[in-house]
Structure 1
Amino acid sequence: MVQTLATLLAVTALAQAWIYGLLVVNRSRPLDGTLVAWSYAITWGLGVVSVAMVIACLVAFVAWFRHHRERAYADNDRIDPRPGWHLAVGSLVPVLNLVAPAVFVHELANCGHQLPADRLVRTLRLWWAGWVALNLLAALTLVIRFTADSIQWGANAVLLTVLCDAAGAVFALVSVRLLHRAFDPAARGEPATRWLAV
C-alpha cells in the first residue's frame, strides 16, 4: 500500500510540475483552454486520490502499530498500557499526530527492536524530524494555496505542492524501510558490537 502511495505522490508531483510549466508558458502566450481544463482536472483528481490514500495508509499504520506493540509487550510478559483508540487518535488527529507517533514509537522501541539501541534512538529522532518537517511543509503549502492573491503566489503554491508531494513519496518509502528494519522480527538484526582494527 505504501509503495502505491509513493508512486501516486510521485505522479501527482509530476502533474503539479506540468501545471507549473503551463503557468510559466502562459506568462508569454495564451494557452489552449481545453488543455488547461484537462490538466487541472487530472491534477485535482490525483490530489483527491492522494489524500484518500494518505488517510488509508495512516489507518493501516495504526493497525500495524497496534499489532507490533501488542506482540512486543507480550514478549516481555506485559500488556500494552495504551488502548487502541489512543494510537488511533494520536496518529490520525492533525497537530496531535506531530508528537504522539514519536512517543508511541519510542515506547515500542523500549520493548523490542532489531537495531542497536544508540542507532535506534538516533534513527527514530531523524524519522520524527522528517515527519514534522513534512507536515509543516504541507501546512505552509495549504496556507499559501488558499490565501494566494496573485498569479505569482498561485504559481509559488503549485511549486510548493510539487515539493510536498515529492517529499511525501520519499518519506513514505523511507518510513516503511526504517520501521521494517527496526521492529520486524523477520528483519535481519544488526550486530550491536563493531570490531575495529587497532
Structure 2
Amino acid sequence: MSVVQVCARCAARWPVVGGPTQWCPRCSGVLLIPTRTEIYQPPNRRGFRWIARSPSDPRGVGDAPVRRSLTTPRYDAVPQWGLQDIVDTSPVPPSRADRMADRVGPLLTLATILYGLAVFAELGRYAILVRNRTTLIPQWLLTVSDAAVYFTQLGGLLISVFAAVAGVCWLLRRRHEHFAGAGESDPRTASEVVVGCAVPILNLVMPAVYLFELVRRDPRGTLLVKIWWGFWGFSALLLVVNAYWRSRPGIQAMADGVLLNAFIALVAAVTAALTLVVIRRIERKSWRGEPESETRWVPVPRSVLEEKTVLDEKETAAL
C-alpha cells in the first residue's frame, strides 16, 4: 500500500515522498490531495470542493459544518455596498452667451419698433420744414420733433448693436446644435464666425454664408435668407449714400436728407424684422417664438373624394 497524488489535468499518479506537492512534474497541473492506492478515486472526481462563506463565519479545518437553508436568499434592506452612480440633476446655469442669445428676439422686435417710429419722426420733421416756408413754427414743436428724431434714431442704433451681438451668440449656438444633431462638428471655429460677422466688408457676405449652411435643405428658409441678404446689403449701401448726402451744402439738400433718413429708417426696420423672421424659421418657430406644428400634405385619390361627395349628398337628402 502506497500514498499517491493524482494530477487533475493528465491523471498521472505520483508517489508521495517526504510530503505532498502541489504541481504535476509532467504537465504542471494541480495535484489532488494524497490518497491511498486501494481507495483511489477517478480523476474526474475532485478531492476538494468550493464552499462559499460569509466573512463573519469561522474558518479552519476543524470548523463545524454549516447548516444550509432551503429558503430563497433575499436582502432585508437595500444593500449600500458597491458602485453608486450619482447623477447631478440640478439644472446647469446658462452662460452669458446663452443668455444673450435668448434675448435676440426681443431686441430685434424693439429695434423694428424704434426704426418704425423713426420713419414717422423724420416725416414729421420734413412736414415742419415744408410748413416753415410760409409760417413760423413754435419753438416747442421744434423741440418735440428733434427729441423724437434723436430718441428713435439713436435708440434704434443702440438696440441694433445689442441685437447684433445677441445674433452672433445665437448663430454660434444654433450652428453647434445643428451640426451636433447631424453627428458632425462645425467646420468653422467660433472665432472665424465672430470675425466674419464683425469685420466691415466681410460682414456683408459671411453672415449670409453662415445662414445658408443652416438652411441648405429648406427651400423656404433659403429664399428668406436671400431676401434678408438683399436688404442687408442695400441698407449698407444707403449708409454710404447718406454720408455722401450730408456733405452737400444748401437748405434743399438738408431737406432731402430728412427724406433720405426716413427711407433709411424704413429699410432698417424691414431688415430687423426680416432678421427675426429668418431666426424663427431656422428655429422652426412662429414669429412669436412658439413652436410650429408640422403639417404634411398627402395626395388623396379621386375615388375617395367622389365617395365622400356621395356620402355627403346622402346625409343631406336624409335631413
TM-score, length-scaled by structure 1: 0.83
Indicate the residue corresponding to 1:113 in structure 2: none
Match of 1:132 in 2: 233
Q: Can you give the 5+ residue segments of structure 1 that lack an aligned partner in the other structure? A: 111-115
The alpha-carbon deviation at position 190 of structure 1 amounts to 5.9
2: CA distance, partners of 1:182 / 1:167: 22
Which of 267, 274, 288 is the aligned partner of 1:174?
A: 274
Query: Helix, strand or coil for the counterpart of 2:208?
Result: helix
Aligned to 2:191: 85
Aligned-partner residue type, residue 171 of structure 1: T
CA distance in 1, matches of 2:255, 2:278: 34
Tell me how far apart the structure 2 counterparts of residues 11 and 79 of structure 1 sit (CA, whole Å): 43
Measure how far apart 1:60 and its partner are: 0.8
In 2: Cα distance, 1:131 partner to 1:190 partner: 31
Cα distance in 2, alignment partners of residues 133 and 174 from structure 1: 13
Deviates more, 1:134-143 or 1:156-165: 134-143
Q: Percent identity?
A: 25
Q: 1:147 aligns with which of 229, 237, 247?
A: 247
Bigger fraction of residues in helix: 1
The aligned runs of 1:1-40 (5 Å cut-off) are 1-40=107-146
Q: Could you tell me how far 1:108 is from its partner in structure 2?
A: 2.0
Instruction: Please state how far the C-alpha of 1:194 moved relative to its aligned partner.
Output: 7.6
Does structure 1 retain, via aligned residues, the 8 Å contact 2:114–2:153?
Answer: no
Q: Residue type of the partner of 2:195?
A: V
2:177 is matched with 71
**Structure-2 change in CA distance of 1:148 and 1:189 (3 Å):** farther
Distance change >3 Å, CA 36–CA 184, structure 1 → 2: same
Where does 1:155-170 land on structure 2 (aligned, <5 Å)?
Answer: 155-170=255-270
Task: Mark the structure with the bigger radius of gyration.
Answer: 2
User: Larger RCO: Structure 1 or Structure 2 (Cα < 8 Å, ≥ 6 residues apart)?
Assistant: 1
Structure 2: how far apart are the matches of 1:148 and 1:190?
55
Which sections of structure 2, spanning at least 5 residues, go unmatched? 1-106, 286-290, 303-319
Aligned length, in residue pairs? 191
